[in-house]
Structures are given as C-alpha cells and as structure tokens.
Structure 1
Amino acid sequence: MLSLAVIGSTACAAPSAVAVSPSGVPAFSEDMLSAEFWIRRAPSPDEVLLDAEQVAARRTRAFGPEGGLIDLKRMPTALTRAQVAGWVKDAQQTPIQAVIDEQGQPVTEAMLEELRRNAATEHIPEAAPARYGLSVRRTPLRSLPSDRRFFAAENLRDYESLQAGILFPGEPVVIAHQSADTHWLFVQTTQGPAWVRRADVAVGSADEVFSYVAKAPGRVVTGDQVRTVFTPEAPGVSEIELDMGVALPRADVAPGEPVNGASSYASWPVLLPVREQDGTLAFQSALLRRTADTAPGYLPLTRANILRQAFKFLGERYGWGHQFNARDCSGLTSEVYRSLGLFLPPNSGMQGKSAALNHRLFTASDSHAERLRAVAQAQVGDLIVVPGHVLMIIGHVDGEPYVIQDVPFAVFKDPVTQQLRKTKLNQVAVTPLLPLYADDTTLYVDAMTSLVHVTSP
C-alpha cells in the first residue's frame, strides 16, 4: 500500500529537459503501453530465471524469519487473552486518519469508540483453543469490525481508513475472537491480524484447512481476475471472483462428468471451500471455463512472463487494500509474482526487506551517483521501494529506466515553467523512473530505500 505521504503529496516528479507527452507523462510514447514493446528489449526474455525447485524454496523462505508472511501452522494451538488483545490493538493501526464518513460528516471519537466496543476485547477468554477456517470468497480485511467507511479528506476517498487488505478464496485463517454483534470474526492471516465477515469464513479442523492449502495447484489464475462458471444449483461456488495468482486444487471429476448442472468437458473442474449453514467447512467442485486466463500450474519465471503478467493490470483503477475489485502498488507486484509461484509480503516496506528476496538497501550515505548506477543495472522485474510505495522495473530506453506502477500521481518539473507539475494517474501506469519525485523535493531515485532483485538466484 501507499503511505499517506505519497497519497497526500505525490508519487513522482522530473528533471527540466524531459519532454511531456499529451497524456501528461514525461519521456513517454504510446508504444510503451504494450508488453511486447518491452519484451523485445529484454535480454533473453524466455530464459527461466529460477526453476520450480528454486521458486518453491523462495515460497518457504517467505514464511520464515523476516520473510514477511506468517506461517499459521506454527502458531500456538492455545491462544491467551494477552496475545489476542495485542493482535486486536495491532489491527487497529491504520495509516489513514478517519476524519469524515461516507456522507462527508465529521467522524467523532464517540463513533470510533462504538466500533471499538464491538471488538469486545473484554470478552476475550483467559485462554482458548485456536480455531481454523478458510475464506470462501474474495473478502475485505478490516481494522475494526465494521463496514463503515471513513476517509482522511473529501478529496481522498480512494483511501478508506478501515481497509486492511483482502482475503482471496481458499486462504487460511486462525480464528481468535468474535465481535459483540457476532457478525465479525477476528482472525490471524498470513498477512497479519484483522477482522473479517463471519459469513465469508468456513470453520474447519486444522487438518482440513491446511490439507487443502497444501494441495498441488490444479489451475492457477493468470488473468487479472476471472470467475467460476455461473451455477444456480451451487450458489456457494457460482461466479466466485479469483484474482491473479490464486491457485486452486483440481476437483476429482471424471472426464465429461456434470458439475453443478453443467458438463465439465469444456471447463476445468476445481475444488473450492464452501460454508455450510452452520458455518462449518465443506468442499465443492466448481468450473473454470477453458477460455479463462488460467494455467495448469505457476507460470515459468521468465522476463517475458513478468512483463505480460504486469501489463494485464495496465489501466486498472488504483485500489487501496484491494478495494474496487482492484489492487494497490504492493498488490500489483505481489499478484504478478504469485502467478509465477513467488509469494511476496503484502506491503511495500516488507517487500523491500523480506528475507525471501535478494535486495540492496540504501541509506542517506548512498550518493545520487551510486543510486543512478544501481538503477542503470536493474533488471526486468526488479522492484524499486521508496517509503510507502513500490514500483517494478520493466526495462530501459536509451539507458533510462522505466517502471510499471499503481500510483495516484506522476509529479515532475514542467520543462517550460520549471514548476512542479502533477498528473493524476490513479491507475496502473507506465512511467520513466528518473524524472519522478517521491515528494515535493526528493526524486524517487534519491528516496529509494531498497532495490529488490526478485529473480536473482
């Protein structure tokens, strides 16, 4: 996710000699909006950069020490009041201040206190066994147990205060608590603690949950988003939204055997978790059309595939915490790599320092010249991390590095007036790196805290 500093002040800016395209982006031409433009320039675009064994090892490291993701299987089977209360407090931390509500009215402390009371921390038992579940649909993670929407300002409605991320179908959770109104479960996810709607989680045993997660992928979603086939006979698996990188196990269905009222011969049968009426976990077969953008496993990790996957999001509206059926800057990078079998942490800061990835860290002692040399040598798929934001290198033109990023604005110096100019993007966009500023005075390259070499062995 982007930090408030990036949201409020910028996303980029530029040196004075850079021509500005009609779109308001410097050093840019329309042909740069094609993945093939960059694939043609990439060295050995179809070379496999990490093989399947190396990719699997990276996934394991992502759940290890300092990897950025939480291994739920290693969590204690008994949870204490102090532990759960600490998680509830952690979950309430949000980078976006709650100033106005959806009607534009001021948010009062009394309004927030009402939501905190619904968290019912006083009812957390001294000790209780952990319970387990699987998400049954794409569902938001929330900082407090509420669907109420709060914003920092009228002109910042793209960034909702309580939005804490997303759960994709089939993701595991440890259930630690419930809200006073019983409509919300407080869960620990692989990303961290949050509230999630009770209706969107099915409760099962640890063995049921983790056995499902461990199943080999039958189909991996390689499009920006696909849906299961509409099936009125089985509403629990009908038109389920599946984002890029979601991996579903194959359903044990004989060739041509009907699934939920339709033949399976022209589709891919997959297995999805469903929630029974009593809230317990069950599994049901569903269909993905063969024409849908999916693959039988994770895509080979090549420069061409990195570019093709990233460009499938081009033009998508920016979605803070995966709002609007979309994603934000770190959601973009993590989903591209998830479709290739690599799991990245959910926020830009952790992507910049995850022990599962190779990176070069930068401090104030690194000169501008050193930073320029580093980005000049950056490869396709490398990540540029600045405070609150992450961008992906897609190649170089005349030695200048270019990125794809999910960002509110491009900010740069107008070559005529020499004044800072802000072009609203609010979408996944292609831009040059060097002309852009991270705030009103600092170029992105000078604000860079990490250059992540995701694909290096």
Structure 2
Amino acid sequence: MIRPKVGVRALLTLALMGTACAAPSVRPVSDSGVPAFSEDMLSSEFWIRRAPSPDAVLLDAGQVAAKRLRAFGPEGGLVDLKGIPATLTRAQVAGWVRDAQQTPIQAVIDEQGQPVTEAMMDALRQNAAAGHIPETTAARHGLSVRRTHLRSLPSSQRFFASEDLRDYESLQAGVLFPGEPVVIAHQSADQQWLFVMTTQGPAWVQRGDIAEGTAGEVFAYVEKTPGRVVTGDQVRTVFTPEAPEVSELALDMGTPLPRAGVAPGEPVNGASSHASWPVLLPVRKQDGSLAFRSALVRRTADTAPGYLPMTRANILRQAFKFLGERYGWGHQFNARDCSGLTGEVYRSLGLFLPPNSGLQGKSAALNHRLFTARDSHEERVRALARAQVGDLVVVPGHVLMIIGHVNGEPYVIQDVPYAVFKDPATQQLRKTKLNQVSVTPLLPLYADDTTLYVDAMTSLVHVTRP
C-alpha cells in the first residue's frame, strides 16, 4: 500500500439491525461490544471446520504465478519497475513528485498539537527540490535494507487532521519491507531522502534505508527463488553483534528470503547454521552501495520453504495470525491497515495484491463481481450469501475478508477502527472502539449513518478463482 486508503470520514463503521443471527452461543451484543458474536469465533479452527474442503488446493503454483504476473500488467495495480526507462525526464519525475504529495489526511496539527501552517508545509515542499530536477536523469536502482516507511514528502514530521485522529498520520504513504526494489529518481535538498518509484507507486524514503546497486543486481535478487517465506505475522533474524545490519531484522508476513550459499553447519555471523535457516539479505555499505550478507532465521520461527498452498485452511490460519494487532494506517505502529492485512495474507500464499482497497477491488489480476447503483439490495445480499472463504468485500475506503457464514450470515476478519451498530435493546447507535484486527458479522454494516455496507459495496473480489 502506498497510498493510504481512505479519507477520514470513510473510516469504518459497523452496524447490526434487529436480532442476532446465529448459533445459540451468539448473543445480540457480546460483552466486548461486538454484535452477533461469540468467543469461539476468534479461533481460525472454528471457521476451518465450517469451510467446505478446507485443504483442497484452489489455485496451483502455476495459476498463482500467472496471477502474480498479471498484477504487474495493465490495470493490475502494481508498478513493473523493469518497464521504467533507463532515462527519466524532468516532466516524468516532477509528475511523480506531485502524485506522491496527494494524501487523504489533512495536515492540521503537529505532534505537539500545534497548528500546521502553510509556511511549515512549504518548507517541506521546498525540501522536495522539484525545481532542481534535471532535464534528464539516469534511473538508478536499489533495494530496501529494512522495514522502512514511505512518505508523501521528505520529512519524518508527523501531522494529523485533529487531536482525536492521531491514528491517521498525514504524510504516511506505506512501507517497504527488506529486499523490495526501487527506482531512484531524485533526492531531497537536504540529501537525507531519496525519491523513489516502488512497485506500489512513488514516495520518499530515508536514504539510509536504501542500498544502491545496478539494475542487474537488484532484479536478480528479487527474482531469486525463495529459500524461506515468512508465514508469521512478523519474525526476526537471529541477533548477531558481528553483523548488526542483519541482526534482529523485522520480516513481515509474505517476505521472501533467498537461501544463502552456506554449507550445512557452517557458521554464519558467529553462530552455527545447524538449527537455523541461512538466508541472504541486502545490506547498505558505508558508501551507500548494495551488498549482500548471510543471516540466520531460527528453524522454530514461523516460516515455510516456499509460498503456502492456496487452500481455505491456509487463508484462514494466515489471516488469524494478525488477530488483535493494532490498526496501523499505512503500516504505522509496526502493524498494518485493512489492505495491508489482506495483502500480506495473500502474499504468504504467493499472490501480490495492489497496495490499497480501491485497487484491490478492481485489479485486472483478480476476478470481481462489480456493483453499481443499479444493483439492488437483494442482489447484493445474494452475492454475499454465495461468497467464499478468502473473498474480499470492497466498499469505498475499506476492504474486508470473508471467513465463512453462520446461519447463512457472512462473517469477516477486518482491520477496523470502530464497530458502530444499532443496539437491539434501544435501537440507538452504539459505538465500540476496536482499532485492531477483529472478527465481526458483515450484515448489516453501515458505510455511514444511512447507508449499509452491503449497499455501498463496489466489488466482491473472488481472489482464489483462476
């Protein structure tokens, strides 16, 4: 995700009409303030038992690879960096810089709660040095060497729309994980930031988090067959004082790790590889250039020898590994948001989804049932009744994942700020702050005070269909 998903007013709300739907253990409103919910729903195994043929392979490795390729094609939602020309023009780079500055969150106050002035914003824009972009420049290439934030402007300053909306930071534009490629197009006036094109789109990134190499070196690393794939919510490399650049490095779900050329039992950075997996990671040398270094990942860490098979059981188990994680706008707080959740679940299974909910809802790499104002409420409800585990429900500014049905009613896992619903006892709106990855009923949800989620739905994405 490079363009965080939504305007503030589109942040999630969730509603319950009338009576609760399901099994005897489901109460109209749980003690936690979530409607039509029971504690056993917080286990992936609850949903796996309800899923049809949970271990059946839905897409084979070839089909997954084909979808992954289409994600970088026309209308796929991801940027094919190999298709960027070797020479960049001023107009091209300046256009990217303008695009990067578009943010759905107004910069109204700073971290101290003081007003953000036009002079403050102008200083940041001046640091972007758009007036110093040369007529032509050679495209340079690099790899990210750690989990690092992408920014709309070259600054670590944090701005917010209001005091009570500090979970949504104005300049936050996404994240790069270790080993992700970039095309370097420009630098800031203070030379502390690089302006890059990523597979997600254009953004600013701290210079020290990118190692620059040749296009051949960068793409050869990206195209290596993974020796391990991170399948936990996040794992870390083994601590090593001998190589601090790869010590306790955070690796998020779906990160592919090429195998290091290490003989069995051969020491790596002061420790034996006997009980760990040796992997190869990019590092930044003192002069900023790219090098590679072996690191260790414990065998007990949650990784796999390749992308996981595309099964309903795996989709559910992967999604539930994020349960309870705090909502992280644009991957803030060492976490993720709604499309980060869905994207990383599927990345661990070999599918690359676009970086935001809107693009996930229309990517040419995926199959969709699109909805317009012409689709009736009844047609939409019927479509959701037929939805399968792993399907994505897209409404303006948000994406949710279907995990199953209880008494015919669809349930989802979602990274959601609030649950807002009609209390069955009073019929008044009740608001529960969740601010985390949660399990909730889907019907009926409200996109605003008057529109049900089902009626706001723009796309039902059948991710696992060929």
TM-score per shorter chain, which class?
A: over 0.9
Q: Does the 8 A contact of 1:410 with 1:436 survive in 2?
A: no
Quote the Cα distance in structure 2 between the aligned partners of 1:6 and 1:33. Answer: 28
Find 2:461's aligned residue among 443, 448, 452: 452
Describe the superposition over 1:417-456 as per-residue Cα deviations: whole angstroms up to 9, x where unpaired: 1111111110000000003211111111111000000001
Displacement after TM superposition at 1:3 (Å): 1.4
Alignment-derived partner of residue 303 in structure 1: 312
Quote the Cα distance in structure 2 between the aligned partners of 1:173 and 1:313. Answer: 27
1:46-445 matched pairs, under 5 angstroms: 46-445=55-454
Describe the superposition over 1:205-233 as per-residue Cα deviations: whole angstroms up to 9, x where unpaired: 00000000000001000000000001110
Q: Does the 8 A contact of 2:152 with 2:172 survive in 1?
A: yes
Describe the superposition over 1:367-407 as per-residue Cα deviations: whole angstroms up to 9, x where unpaired: 00000000000000000000000000000000010000001
Alignment-derived partner of residue 23 in structure 2: none
Quote the Cα distance in structure 2 between the aligned partners of 1:5 and 1:308. Answer: 30
Displacement after TM superposition at 1:16 (Å): 2.3
Q: Which amino acid aligns with 2:251?
A: L
Quote the Cα distance in structure 2 between the aligned partners of 1:11 and 1:168. Answer: 30
Describe the superposition over 1:123-152 as per-residue Cα deviations: whole angstroms up to 9, x where unpaired: 110001100000000000000000000000
Q: Does the 8 A contact of 1:233 with 1:261 survive in 2?
A: yes
Question: Per the alignment, in what secondary structure is the counterpart of residue 196 of structure 2?
Answer: strand
Quote the Cα distance in structure 2 between the aligned partners of 1:309 and 1:323. Answer: 20
Question: Per the alignment, in what secondary structure is the counterpart of residue 241 of structure 2?
Answer: coil
Alignment-derived partner of residue 4 in structure 1: 7
Runs of 4+ off more than 4 Å: 5-8
Quote the Cα distance in structure 1 between the aligned partners of 2:459 and 2:9. Answer: 17
RMSD of equivalent CA atoms: 0.8
Q: Does the 8 A contact of 1:7 with 1:408 survive in 2?
A: no
Question: Per the alignment, in what secondary structure is the counterpart of residue 35 of structure 2?
Answer: coil
Q: Which amino acid aligns with 1:3?
A: V
Q: Does the 8 A contact of 1:271 with 1:283 survive in 2?
A: yes
Q: Which amino acid aligns with 2:32?
A: S
- Gap regions ≥5 residues in structure 1: none
Q: Which amino acid aligns with 1:55?
A: V
Q: Which amino acid aligns with 1:49?
A: L
Question: Per the alignment, in what secondary structure is the counterpart of residue 272 of structure 2?
Answer: coil
Question: Per the alignment, in what secondary structure is the counterpart of residue 432 of structure 2?
Answer: strand
Displacement after TM superposition at 1:5 (Å): 4.4
Find 2:31's aligned residue among 2, 15, 22: 22
Q: Which amino acid aligns with 2:400?
A: L
Quote the Cα distance in structure 1 between the aligned partners of 2:114 and 2:242. Answer: 43
Quote the Cα distance in structure 1 between the aligned partners of 2:132 and 2:14. Answer: 47
Percent of aligned pairs sharing the same letter: 82
Q: Does the 8 A contact of 1:6 with 1:388 survive in 2?
A: no
Q: Does the 8 A contact of 2:10 with 2:447 survive in 1?
A: no
Q: Which amino acid aligns with 2:241?
A: P
Q: Does the 8 A contact of 2:8 with 2:104 survive in 1?
A: no
Question: Per the alignment, in what secondary structure is the counterpart of residue 226 of structure 2?
Answer: coil
Quote the Cα distance in structure 2 between the aligned partners of 1:435 and 1:31. Answer: 21
Q: Which amino acid aligns with 1:299?
A: L
TM-score by length of 2: 0.97
Displacement after TM superposition at 1:412 (Å): 1.2
Describe the superposition over 1:158-196 as per-residue Cα deviations: whole angstroms up to 9, x where unpaired: 000000000000000000000000000000000000000
Question: Per the alignment, in what secondary structure is the counterpart of residue 390 of structure 1?
Answer: strand
Quote the Cα distance in structure 2 between the aligned partners of 1:133 and 1:35. Answer: 38
Q: Does the 8 A contact of 1:227 with 1:239 survive in 2?
A: yes
